[in-house]
Amino acid sequence: MNYYSLNKISPPATFEEATIKGQAPDKGLYFPSTIPTLSKDFIANIKTKSKEEIGFEVMKPFVGESIPDDVLQNIITETINFDFPLVNVHNNVYALELFHGPTLAFKDVGARFMSRCLGYFNRNKNQHTTVLVATSGDTGGAVANGFLGVDGVDVIILYPSKKVSVVQELQLTTLGKNISALEINGSFDDCQAIVKEAFADADLNKKLTLTSANSINVARWLPQQLYYFFAYQQWQHEEPPVISVPSGNFGNICAGILAHVSGLPVKHFIAACNANDVVPQFLQSGEYQPKKTIATISNAMDVGNPSNFVRVLELFRHQIKDLKNILSSYSIGDAATKATINEVFNQYNYTLDPHGAVGYYALIDYLGDGVQNSSGGGIFLETAHPVKFPETVEEAINTKIEIPDNIKYLFNQQKRSIQMNASFDDFKEWMMNR
């Protein structure tokens, strides 16, 4: 499998090259040259297959010759060694819980897969790869955890000081070893701007092999398809599900749509957004207008110009009509999000996190009376554990959230961060002298 740049200037790349580069030299996103088709047999027999078998079957065509089968099998087994349960919330509404990984958010899968691929690609080289990543919260923890101790890979995480939750900060600042956390005196956009400038800086690129671990990287983006197969494996209704995806950078939902184009039955997709409504506006007006990011309580979706949306358009060859047949999009404000968390807790005893709440709200709105329809129904992705957003959730449900056992140790760890102003020059000086 080759990958072409969506800017159509750079030459095609293998999976290995695309993973190491992150972004094509012409600044385009890499996109698979062909979309694999899954056999009807595979879909019909999906319930008899293990997660590992599904993972291998789905990922193999995308990885191609870049990784031998036995190594790929191991990478997949390690990547998905936790549960992805489909939980009934009420009627025909289900939560696909993607927070059972080590950092309690769905980004674990992409980060674990990418880190192991890079570890394999670096196996014989004494060269180092430096992974640069800006985070509004969840990416940093998942990348830190996924890349910890991977040979030949250094990870530098930039996060906005005081703008991530306590659990999120502990997850990205306490690991040490090959992980460094830069606490930037500024916003997420400032962190992102520094990272972007670093990728374009001649001196830094001469000294280091830089790559990105954001969802523009194919090795982080593509394995997210697996959630949708795991959901379908557990789906008991006749009609395929409507799937609502809390969306920010549109990597996750784009992976779902890709799985569908490959043959996975899905009735409809909903991109559930917060006040950052570029895509809902686009589907209404046909005009794509990036905006400045608005801060919300579902902060992992605070994205004013979603990088992966061009991949969604590419899947439909920019035919908006075809896209609208399969995708709807909603924008849901903070007040409705909080009210939803409260309502679902009181009525159904299920605790949503703010991102899942946006997904739930959009799904219920879309299904309408279909909530009662026994032959169908819908799934929303619960993308993070509510304990990652304790202030918002505890206020909404008026109850303390229990801290899951597997993260209690975090509270005894020592935070280690390097404080820095939101200045590219300061960052560059630090990078050149470390």
| Residue 223 in contact with ligand PLP, rule: CB under 6 A | no
Q: Distance between CA atoms of 432 and 434, rounded to whole angstroms?
A: 6
Q: Distance between CA atoms of 140 and 417, rounded to whole angstroms?
A: 13
| Residue 116 in contact with ligand PLP, rule: CB under 6 A | no
Total binding residues toward ligand PLP, as defined by CB under 6 A: 16
| Residue 220 in contact with ligand PLP, rule: CB under 6 A | no
User: Segment near ligand PLP (CB under 6 A), from 77-85, 203-211, 240-248, 275-283?
Assistant: 240-248
Under 8 Å between Cβ of 294 and 237:
no
User: Segment near ligand PLP (CB under 6 A), from 117-125, 151-159, 196-204, 249-257?
Assistant: 249-257
Q: Distance between CA atoms of 404 and 410, rounded to whole angstroms?
A: 11
For 16, 223, 350, the CA distances from 219, given in Å and listed in that order, are: 9, 7, 33
| Residue 169 in contact with ligand PLP, rule: CB under 6 A | no
| Residue 276 in contact with ligand PLP, rule: CB under 6 A | no
CB of 249 to ligand PLP, least distance (A): 3
| Residue 385 in contact with ligand PLP, rule: CB under 6 A | no
| Residue 247 in contact with ligand PLP, rule: CB under 6 A | yes
Q: 96 Cβ partners below 8 Å, 6+ apart?
A: 84, 85, 86, 87, 227, 230, 231, 379, 380, 381, 382
For 110, 226, 330, 393, the CA distances from 139, given in Å and listed in that order, are: 10, 18, 23, 20
Catalytic residue chosen out of the listed positions 21, 51, 107, 338: 107
| 259 closest CA partner among 289, 309, 212, 223 | 223
Q: Among 107, 260, 311, 338, indicate the residue that binds ligand PLP (CB under 6 A).
A: 107
Q: Among 46, 93, 300, 327, indicate the residue that binds ligand PLP (CB under 6 A).
A: 300
Q: Among 249, 276, 340, 392, indicate the residue that binds ligand PLP (CB under 6 A).
A: 249
For 87, 95, 100, 210, the CA distances from 83, given in Å and listed in that order, are: 12, 13, 6, 33
Q: Distance between CA atoms of 258 and 245, rounded to whole angstroms?
A: 14
Q: Among 105, 210, 231, 266, indicate the residue that binds ligand PLP (CB under 6 A).
A: 105
Q: Among 16, 97, 108, 138, indicate the residue that binds ligand PLP (CB under 6 A).
A: 138
User: Closer to ligand PLP at the Cβ: 338 or 355?
Assistant: 355
Catalytic, 107? Answer yes
| 88 closest CA partner among 250, 198, 234, 301 | 234
| Residue 21 in contact with ligand PLP, rule: CB under 6 A | no
User: Closer to ligand PLP at the Cβ: 171 or 252?
Assistant: 252
Q: Which helix (H) or strand (E) holds 134?
A: strand 129-134
| Residue 246 in contact with ligand PLP, rule: CB under 6 A | yes
Binding mask 365-384 for ligand PLP (x = CB under 6 A): ------------------xx
DSSP state of 126: -
Which residue in this structure is represented by tokens 């056992």?
Answer: 405
Q: Among 32, 102, 140, 248, indicate the residue that binds ligand PLP (CB under 6 A).
A: 248
Interacting residues with ligand PLP (CB under 6 A): 105, 107, 138, 215, 246-252, 300-301, 355, 383-384
**Which residues are annotated as catalytic?**
107
